[in-house]
Structure formats: structure tokens, C-alpha cells
Structure 1
Amino acid sequence: MGRFSRVEDRPTPKEVYNWRVYFAAMISTFAAVMIGYDSAFIGTSIALSSFKAEFALDKLNAKEFALISANIVSSYQAGCFFGAIFGYPLGYYCGRKWGLLVSAIVFCVGAILQIVASSSTGLGIIYAGRVIVGLAIGAASNLAPIYVAEIAPPAIRGRLIGLYELCWQIGGVVGFWINYGVSRNVKPGHLQWLIAFAVQLIPGGLLFFGSFVLTESPRWLVSRDRNAQALKNLAYLRNLPEDHPYIVDEYQAIEVTIAHERSLAGAGFWGPLRTVLTSRVLIKRLLIGSSLFAWQNGTGINAINYYSPTIFRSIGITGTNTALLTTGVYGLIKLFGALIWLIWLVDTLGRRFLLMFGSIGGAFSMYYIGAYIAIAQPNVGGSVASVPLSPGGRSAVAFFYIWTVFYSPSWNGTPWVVGAEFFPQHVRTFTQACMAASNWLFGFLIARFTPQMFLAMGYGVYMFFASLMVLSIFYVFFILPETKQIPLERMEELFAPGLKPWRAHAVVMARIQEDNAARKHEKRQSHDSSGKPSHDHSEPS
């Protein structure tokens, strides 16, 4: 298969894969640049001596500093959790377009609060700013993936949702490198640590202006009875006239599906919530989707993102600049892995294979790092400051990067893709709020307790994460059905009673191909009986 090959659920005109749908996806997923940057820069900012001196953190012992750093990081995660929940009413009443705009405004307010912090204000205003930024990011993490899932053609849906992950990693790379740059080029003092906090305004401002030119989701418009605008937006996104057979078929499928879902759920704000909580099938999907974020955090990713200097010191790397440089390389590998995942893997190899593949390689790498620390004890006595990194230490760093190679094209973005695909339109805003909230809840737990875990467990932290990755392999195989190439309107067929998760994709795809063949045959017979020539308006890519 070619680099940009795609497997379609039906023959699709080449105009459908146009710049408009990519442009809309890129604007909305730019919200993830904010997320990636905020997730990455704070851990290295706390490690700067200038930040510690500004807020008198350099006078604390290891246990006290661990508590303060955990509070700074986890206050953001707590805000994200509640923001993801608030994203449901925001997306329901305001839509995807204006919901993202509101998120950008709130984000910028929180960033400004952090920028004005100083030794005279203390850390309180930073805590407040981190919570407010978290509220915005939580809402954006809810709205951006479902917007992309709703506007994307099925054959490239995973790729377009994957732009969310790519933007996350771009923000992360900048966040990981920003403090290395200021530590090398800016004199220690207030300005040194302030720069990283001020850079938050760049992605927040860009999302704010970009939201004005977004094309609202046709599926959301139909759900709000704005059908004429929905048809217009769909035709615009597909770059086809409103009366084109492809547009007519897709629009009719959206209308029929939403009408059917309304008959089940009822209209209104509380209908989706009642539908999910009274449906065993939807609750099952919700638990599976939410649990993927538990397994994602079980890889250790957020412990590394937020406390990377601590991670590398545990291996034996010393010196602030060296730790920041090593962290920056980690960010670049994550970005490269995300690109491979986006371009080649997510819509070809599928979700299940990638997750199991990532767990196998990641577990082996984490076990190696834990074993090295247990045997070599690189930080015993804290006397390693003047000792070069040993060959064993270099191999542990190499395996840390190998872990990143396995993680970044698998667990990094795939749970977000699955969470955006799993649910029908009438409950998707609510369920995506639950997906995003679960991600931030599990991230909060990791962020809050990682410093204490390293103080108490040492190398056991790595063994803990490695063991969770081993368990996730069995979970994915026996519980998670494959979703690639399945139209959103037929996702529920993957959960039919008696259908095994590891066989569901093949069965449903066979049904889809049979239905498409029957529909094509009926159209041909209709044309033949009318005496008019049959014109196929669609072109397979």
C-alpha cells in the first residue's frame, strides 16, 4: 500500500479528499498544541534554578519540593478534568466551532495569570492560572477530536484525528526544548523562567483567531435542526455540489441516523446522558473507551512528561542543562513517532495492533531500565554529580528512547482516535466529555503522586509501569474491537451480541461491502429499467 493509500467503505470521488477538510481539521486540532506545550514545559520550568529561587523552592528539602512540584503540576490536571466535563454543555449548546473559541479565550486568561506571578505574589496566582488553563484545555480536548471525527471521510478519519496527536507532539517538543534554550541563553533571573510561561499565549492566540474561520460540523447542525446549513457545510467540506450523489447519500445517512437516535434518546440536554446510563451497550463502550486512558497512563507517559528531569536523574544523568537536553531529545523522538503513526500506521495497521505492539516493546524497555537502576544504583548517596554516565547508564538512556519509539506511534494518540469514533452522534459530546475527563483524571493521579513514588519506590516505579503494559496487551486483545474504516453510523455493529472483539471488524466490513454492492446493483437496475444510461459519479482513489 502507498504512503497515503486508503481503504474506503464505498467508492469515493477524489474531490472529497481536499484541502478544506484538512484545513478545518488542522485548525481544530491546533488546540492540542496548547495541550502539548502545557504538558511539557512545566516540569522543566520547575527544575530551573531561577524558578526555584523566585519562589524560595531552593530552600526546601526533597520531600517538601516534591509536594510543591506535584501541586503545581496536578492543579492543571484537576482543571483539565473539570474542563472536560464542562465541555459537554459547551459543545451541546454552542457547537464545536464556538466551543473551541471559548476554550481559547479561557486559556489565554489563565496564561496571563501565570505570567504576572512573581516572588511578591507567591505561587497562589500560578496555581489559579494553572487551574484556569486546565479548564480550557479539558474542554478543548473534548471538542477537538469529536469535531474532526464528524467532518472526516471514513477512509481518512484516523489520519485526521491523528493531526490532534501530531499537534500535541509539536507543542510538546517546543515545551521540552524551551527551558533548555533559556537556560543556555538567558541570564538566570525572573525573565528566564517567565519566557516559557509567556509562550503559552502563542498557541492560545492562534486557536482564538483560527476558530473564526472553522466550518461548523454538519452532524452537529443536523442535531440542532439547522439542516439547510448542515447540507451547505457538508458540500463545502467535501468540495462537491449539494446535489451530487455522494453528498445526497452521506447527508441522508446523517439525517436518518440522527432521527433514529433521537427516537431512542429524546431531544434535549439530558437525553444523551439518560441514553448512555440506561444502555448496557453504551455503558460498555464508555467503560472500554475510558479504560484506554487508564492503560495509557499506565505506560508511565505522564510521569515522564511532567517529571522528565527527575526520570533522567534516577538513571544517573546529572546537571540541569544535561537533563533538559536529554528531555528535548525525548520530545523530538515522540514527534517523529507521531508523524509515522499519522502518515503510515493509524489507518492501515489499525488500532488494536498498534496498542499491543506498543505495549510489548514498551514493557521490555521499562523492565530493562528498572533492572539497571536496581543493580547499578546510580543515585545512591547522591554522589554522582562528578561521575560521568557509565556504559550501563548510557544503555538505560538508550532503552528509554526505545520505549519512546514504541510508545509514540501507539498509545500516544490511538486512545483519542478510538474515543472519538466509538459513539453515535446523539451522545458523542457527552461521551467525549467522559473520555477526556477520564484521561485527565488518570493523568492527575500520576502527576500528583509521581514525585512521592520515586522517593518511596525507586526502580520499582519502572517495574510497576512495565507490568501494567504487559497486562494491557491481554486487555486490548480480548476487549477492544477494531474500528478502522468503519463508518460512524455503523460503529454499533462492532458490539453486536455474541460477536467477539477480535473478529468484529472483519464481520462488519464484510457486511458493509455486501450492502454497498447491493446498493450499486439496485441503482444499475433502476437506470436500466428507466432506459437511461448509468453514470457513475464516484471515483475510487
Structure 2
Amino acid sequence: MVGLRKIEDRPTPPCVYNFRVYMCSVVAACAAIMIGYDSAFIGGTIVLPSFEKEFGLNTKSAADLNFISANIVSTYQGGCFFGAIFGYPIGYFVGRKRGLLISSLVFIIGTSMMLGANGSRGLNLIYIGRVIAGMGIGCASNLTPIYISEISPPAIRGRLIGLYEIGWQSGGLVGFWINYGVSKGLPSSHRQWLIPFAIQLVPAGMFFLGIWYIRESPRWLMGRNRRDEAVANLAWIRKLDPKEQYLIEEINMMDAQLAHERSIVGESFWAPIREVFTIMPIFRRMLLGTSLFIFQNGTGINAINYYSPTIFKSIGVTGTNTGLFTTGIFGVIKTVFTLVWLFFLIDHAGRRNLMIFGAAGGGIAMYYIGAYIKIGQPELHPTTTLSSGGISAMAFFYLWTIFYSLSWNGTPWIVNAEMFPGHTRGVTQTLSAASNWLWNFVISRATPTMFTSMGYGVYIFFATMMILSIPYLYFLLPETKNVPLEEMDRLFAPGLKPWKANKVVMADVRAARSSDLYARNASMDSEEKGVGSIEHHEQTSGHGA
């Protein structure tokens, strides 16, 4: 398949792209199913008449209802923020695999608490449960991209990290449709709204069981001086014998990178934190990576995810079931085009160009929707069917969904997972995940009030944020696709223009690989003549790597 052609930094045995590396990545990415499901189901569940009636929300004023809705949604993001921060010490001390295991258990505990809520007990168990579940998810959102990036061959790293986004969309697709299903298939009752909450335990259980299959990150083991385990795990993941040349080169690169990192910052828990905040090139890179989540949330995606019925009502969609159905279509489009992004675009079109493309197209679509709401004022003229203007606004909304899904949906996570040196990656991924959840919290908390006070201006705001991201990306962010993790520092070297950096660095990498291949072949020729040795061959290869 042409779309899946791999662009390699060096000759790679085909067995490296095997079932094991994909399966380990899929298991880790299951954490995102829980994230996607929550972002999709919660907004539709809290507007179900059965939920509103049981907790007395149908008697609240608009201001009180907005406040309670924002509380229910945003407590989860608040928990995620702190969970992402706790992910650093957990990942540092106990590892990626056990850290993911802990996060799954915390999420299960939080979800179980939510199921105890009812009209007599009130919403407190939902609030507390969502905070706890959010902490588990925040930790997983930190560790999952790190783990996948550390086990991935460079040629498919973007695709494998992108599985995290596929998990997100898969969970979201179920979440968007579950409320439509229970509203159509079940009578208004306690059970009707409880089922969407309970379904969270299904992906959580899958995640928990799957973690027992995966292997610990070889890079983390190397950093803990557990070299034999690291070599064994890497050999298992790559499906290669430890004496294979490709594996020897990869271990040598890890050794060299680790030695370099230790000579710079040492080995302590606090050393990477000090480097991120005291060495200006790394600090600037951290600000660049974390700021991508400002623009991602500024597209409006989480306002739509969490409050989709409100979004569609503003365009002119009326009726609970109609709104939930329209939301489900949004979920289908997002999932389909995210698959296109993963399998055909991210490792070929790259990260930077995709985000610029998505920002331009999405911004135009959002401006159109805002203009329609300003001129047509559909909320003041409710009808049972959409007007021609309303249909065009829905078309542009779905067009915006396509642009977003092909670009911003998962790309900031991939960039942040791969753009930092290994010794700071735990810290920077923590800050990246925390940044995502912070701005996610801000948007989820502010959206009900924004729609009440700003009206069509909400869409103008989101459109403007997307357009502003274009020059920001072009002048500041270099393309990271295909660059080996060990070469990322060169990509951000002073004086190297971001829009040219990838071509320059990859040319150097390929030249170095070619030189190494030439040296290796020369060494093998000399061995055949009886003047070399296996030890000499491995030493030469390691030096070239």
C-alpha cells in the first residue's frame, strides 16, 4: 500500500515492524479510549431528561445549570491536570509499564465511585469519582506517548504514537452514540443515565489486562542500569537476536545518548527538572511544545466534545434525540478522518504542515459558522427542520471536523513525545500533558458561560485562534518526522531555520548512516580475508552509530 510506505533512517530488517511493537503500542493507547469516551459521553448524559430529573437540574435557572454542568465536566480535567504531574515521579521511579498499571487501577476506583450516585445522595460521588478517575487518566496521558515513542522504530513512530489518538477517537465514537442509544432504547430512568457512566469500566478493564502483556521500555531500563533486561526487551520487541547488527547499533545509540545525558545533567530525580528550567534552549523548546495545546484547545474541539448538544442547538438543531444523533455523526466523521491522518498522512505529510493546513481550513469554516449565527440568529427562530442556511452551517461544521481530524487532533501529542532529549522527556511530557489538561479545564469550565455571554462570538474566537497559530507554527516549529530521537537536539540547533531544519538534519543523518554502512562492509571484507574479528566489527559499528 503506497500510503504506508516507510521512510527509514537506515536499512531496517522487515521483522522490526512486527506484531509485538504494534500490540504494545495498541495496549498503551487503550488509555486514550477512556479519555475519548469521557469527552464524548458526559455532555450528552447530563442533558438526558432522566439525569436532570433525578438530580433536580430541570428546576434550576440557566445560570445555575451552567454552573453545575461546568462543575461535572471540569472536575475530571482538574484531576487529569494533577494526574499528569504525578505521572513524572511515577514514571521515573516505577517505570512506564507499572505506571500505566497504577493509572488504570486509579481510574477504575474513580469510575466505580461515580456509579454510587443517585438522587438522594446527590452529585458528590460523581464529582469525587471524576476527580479520581481524572488523576488516573492524567497519569496515563503522560506515560503512554513516552512509552510508545521509546519502543518505536523511527520510520513508524508517528503512526504508533498516533494509535493514542485512534484510541481517543474510538472511545469518543462510542461515547457520542451511547446517549442516543439509551435515549431511544430505554425509558427515562436511573438506569438510562447510569449505563453511559458504567460503560467506562469496559475500556478500563481492557487496559488493565493488556498491560500485563507489554514489556517495559528498554530506554527506561537502560537509564536504571538494567542493561541485560533492556537488551532482552528490545530484542523481544524488535523480534531480533541480540547479536543482530541492527539491534547492536540501536543499543550503541542508546548507550551514547545516555552517556551524553549523564555527563550533562547527572542521574538524580531533580536533574532533568533543573535542566528544563535552567538551560534556555530546552526551556524554549518546552514552551513551544506545551503552547501547542493552547492552540489545540483554541480550535474549539473540547467545547464541542463536552457540550455538543449546546453547539448544535446554537446552529438551529432542536430536540434531544436530534441533537444526540447529530453529535453521533460528528463522532463518525472525526473517527474516519483520524484513521486517514494516522495511516496516510502523519509520517508522510509531517507534523508541522498538517497543523498549518488544518488551521487554515478550520479557521475559515469557523468564521462561516459564526457569520451564519450572527446573521441568521437561529436560536431566535426555532424550527423543527434546519433552514438552508442552517444546512450550510452544518456542512461547514462537518468540514471543520475534517480539517481538525486531519491535523490538530493528535499531532501535538506526537510532536511533544518526540521533540525532547531522552533525559528530559519524562519532565517535558509531564508538562505537555499538564498543559493539555489545564487548557482543557479552562475551556470546559468556560464554555457554558461563553455561549451565554458571547453567542456567535465564540466561533469567531475559535476561528481567530486557529488563524493565529499559522505564523506561530511556520516561524517557530521545525518538522520532526523521521528524525531519530537521539538527533532531536540538532533539529533545534541555534541558527537553523525551523522551515529548513528537517531537510538539513535528515541529510546529515543519512550521510552518517551511509558512511557507517561503508565502514561496516569494509570491516566484513577484511574479516573474510582473515584480518578482522567479530569484536572489531562490532566496535566499528558502534562508533559509527
Task: Give the TM-score range, shorter chain.
Answer: over 0.9
Partner of 2:77: 77
Q: Which ranges of 4 or more aligned residues in structure 1 deviate by more than 6 Å? A: 533-538
Partner of 1:500: 497
Distance in structure 1 (CA, Å) of the matches to 2:104 and 2:276 = 29
Question: Cα deviations across residues 368-426 of structure 1 (Å, max 9, x unaligned)?
Answer: 1000000000112xx51x44210110111111000000001100000000010011221
Distance in structure 2 (CA, Å) of the matches to 1:452 and 1:352 = 33
Whether 1:513 aligns to 2:506 is no
Partner of 2:29: 29
Question: Cα deviations across residues 4-36 of structure 1 (Å, max 9, x unaligned)?
Answer: 101000010111010010010000011100110
Secondary structure of residue in 1 paired with 2:2: coil
Partner of 2:475: 478
Distance in structure 2 (CA, Å) of the matches to 1:235 and 1:221 = 13
Distance in structure 2 (CA, Å) of the matches to 1:424 and 1:387 = 56
Whether 1:416 aligns to 2:407 is no
Partner of 1:341: 341
1:279-358 alignment to 2 at 5 Å? 279-358=279-358
Q: Which moved more, 1:514-523 or 1:49-58?
A: 514-523
Distance in structure 2 (CA, Å) of the matches to 1:14 and 1:530 = 26
Shift, 1:449, TM fit: 0.4
Distance in structure 2 (CA, Å) of the matches to 1:528 and 1:388 = 78
Partner of 1:455: 452
**TM-score by structure 2 length?**
0.96
Question: Cα deviations across residues 143-172 of structure 1 (Å, max 9, x unaligned)?
Answer: 001100000000000000000000100000
Partner of 1:389: 386
Distance in structure 2 (CA, Å) of the matches to 1:173 and 1:198 = 16
Distance in structure 2 (CA, Å) of the matches to 1:273 and 1:448 = 30
Distance in structure 1 (CA, Å) of the matches to 2:87 and 2:325 = 36
Whether 1:88 aligns to 2:88 is yes
Partner of 1:371: 371
Question: Cα deviations across residues 276-306 of structure 1 (Å, max 9, x unaligned)?
Answer: 1121111111101101000000100000000
Shift, 1:39, TM fit: 1.0
Distance in structure 2 (CA, Å) of the matches to 1:388 and 1:524 = 72
Distance in structure 2 (CA, Å) of the matches to 1:528 and 1:140 = 49
Where relative contact order (Cα < 8 A, 6+ residues apart) is larger, the structure is 1
Distance in structure 2 (CA, Å) of the matches to 1:207 and 1:387 = 43
Distance in structure 1 (CA, Å) of the matches to 2:155 and 2:299 = 29
Whether 1:465 aligns to 2:429 is no
Shift, 1:529, TM fit: 3.3
Shift, 1:524, TM fit: 2.3
Distance in structure 2 (CA, Å) of the matches to 1:116 and 1:228 = 47
Shift, 1:335, TM fit: 0.4
Counterpart code for 1:505 = N
**TM-score by structure 1 length?**
0.97
Partner of 2:185: 185
Unaligned runs of 5+ in 1: none
Distance in structure 2 (CA, Å) of the matches to 1:428 and 1:464 = 33
Whether 1:404 aligns to 2:401 is yes
Question: Cα deviations across residues 331-355 of structure 1 (Å, max 9, x unaligned)?
Answer: 0111001100110000000001100
Distance in structure 1 (CA, Å) of the matches to 2:416 and 2:268 = 23
User: How many residues are paired up?
Assistant: 535
Partner of 1:528: 525
Distance in structure 1 (CA, Å) of the matches to 2:467 and 2:506 = 30
1:157-172 alignment to 2 at 5 Å? 157-172=157-172
Secondary structure of residue in 1 paired with 2:163: helix
Secondary structure of residue in 1 paired with 2:282: helix
Question: Cα deviations across residues 61-101 of structure 1 (Å, max 9, x unaligned)?
Answer: 11111111011111111111000000001101111111111
Secondary structure of residue in 2 paired with 1:268: coil
Partner of 1:142: 142
Counterpart code for 2:113 = L
Shift, 1:532, TM fit: 4.1
Distance in structure 2 (CA, Å) of the matches to 1:421 and 1:460 = 36
Counterpart code for 1:459 = Y
Shift, 1:183, TM fit: 0.1
Partner of 2:100: 100
Question: Cα deviations across residues 291-332 of structure 1 (Å, max 9, x unaligned)?
Answer: 100000010000000000000000010000000000000001
1:114-153 alignment to 2 at 5 Å? 114-153=114-153
Shift, 1:115, TM fit: 0.7
Question: Cα deviations across residues 483-514 of structure 1 (Å, max 9, x unaligned)?
Answer: 00000000010111100100100000010011
Partner of 2:440: 443
Question: Cα deviations across residues 250-272 of structure 1 (Å, max 9, x unaligned)?
Answer: 01111111121011111121111
Secondary structure of residue in 2 paired with 1:79: helix
Distance in structure 1 (CA, Å) of the matches to 2:385 and 2:439 = 36
Counterpart code for 2:423 = H
Secondary structure of residue in 1 paired with 2:347: coil
Distance in structure 2 (CA, Å) of the matches to 1:94 and 1:38 = 27
Distance in structure 1 (CA, Å) of the matches to 2:165 and 2:367 = 27
Counterpart code for 1:224 = R
Distance in structure 2 (CA, Å) of the matches to 1:526 and 1:129 = 62
Partner of 1:245: 245
Counterpart code for 1:139 = C
Distance in structure 1 (CA, Å) of the matches to 2:275 and 2:265 = 5
Distance in structure 1 (CA, Å) of the matches to 2:395 and 2:526 = 68
Secondary structure of residue in 1 paired with 2:3: coil
Shift, 1:128, TM fit: 0.3
Counterpart code for 1:81 = F
Identity %: 57
Secondary structure of residue in 1 paired with 2:203: helix
Shift, 1:114, TM fit: 0.6
Partner of 2:56: 56
Distance in structure 2 (CA, Å) of the matches to 1:102 and 1:529 = 52
Distance in structure 2 (CA, Å) of the matches to 1:322 and 1:37 = 20
Whether 1:65 aligns to 2:65 is yes
Distance in structure 1 (CA, Å) of the matches to 2:138 and 2:524 = 51
Counterpart code for 1:439 = N
Q: Superposition RMSD on alpha carbons, in Å? A: 1.6
Distance in structure 1 (CA, Å) of the matches to 2:268 and 2:174 = 42
